[in-house]
């Protein structure tokens, strides 16, 4: 497993002068710890940037103050696996497909996960995407996440005739 930069650099650098002062050991430990935390800091920065862009996209959508929708989902099951070979859906097991998550009409979501210590971490963008599928399966007025680009196009075109809101990208009537 690639753990990023060589964490022993600071120790080897300080040992080159064969000076084992207490200050040298302290500086070495601080540098090793700082480099070890760099990966977590970078991933936090990337998640924040992604969340910021998602929020900017959502805020750019027109306001709809009359919206008040409740969707009840009974017995939602989420399978989190570290290896796609453990997915319950055969197509998702194929590494060539590159599927990191899926949802089905049985209220099941499969998603890749990782562990940090004893805590399980999943990609919240993928989980949200798959959850949107579940919402869409229960209520076709909730946009299928694969139709969002078409919805944005329609908003940009101000819902001209080419953008019938009752027709999804897949050409199905939505009610």
**In terms of domains, do 136 and 155 share one?**
no
Which residues constitute the domain of residue 174? 143-175
Given pLDDT bands bounded at 50, 70 and 90, which one contains residue 155? low
**In terms of domains, do 134 and 161 share one?**
no
Residue 16 scores a pLDDT above 60: no
Domain membership flag for residue 101: yes
Integer CA distances (angstroms), 120 to 10, 26, 38, 64, 136, in order: 31, 33, 20, 36, 26
> Can you name the residues that pair with 56 across neighbouring β-strands?
none
Given pLDDT bands bounded at 50, 70 and 90, which one contains residue 114? very high
d(CA 103, CA 131): 7
**In terms of domains, do 164 and 132 share one?**
no
Report residue 170: phi and psi, to 5°.
Answer: -80, 0
Domain membership flag for residue 3: no
Helix boundaries (H) for 80-170: 90-93, 124-138, 148-156
Mean pLDDT of 113-136: 93
78 or 141, which is more confident?
Answer: 78
What pTM did the predictor assign? 0.63
């Amino acid at each position: 497993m690639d753990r990023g930069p060589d964490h022993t650099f600071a120790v080897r650098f300080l040992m080159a002068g064969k000076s084992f002062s207490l200050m040298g050991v302290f500086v070495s430990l601080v540098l090793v710890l700082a480099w070890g935390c760099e990966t977590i800091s970078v991933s936090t920065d990337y998640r924040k940037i992604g969340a910021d862009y998602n929020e900017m996209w959502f805020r750019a959508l027109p306001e709809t103050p009359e919206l008040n929708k409740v969707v009840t989902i009974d017995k939602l099951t989420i399978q989190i696996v570290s290896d796609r070979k453990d997915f319950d859906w055969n197509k998702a097991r194929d590494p060539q497909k590159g599927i990191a998550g899926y949802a089905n009409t049985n209220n099941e979501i499969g998603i890749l996960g990782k562990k940090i210590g004893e805590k399980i971490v999943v990609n919240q963008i993928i989980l949200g995407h798959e959850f949107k599928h579940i919402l869409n399966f229960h209520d076709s007025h909730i946009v299928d996440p694969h139709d969002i680009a078409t919805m944005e196009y329609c908003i940009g075109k101000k819902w001209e005739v080419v953008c019938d809101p009752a027709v999804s990208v897949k050409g199905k009537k939505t009610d």
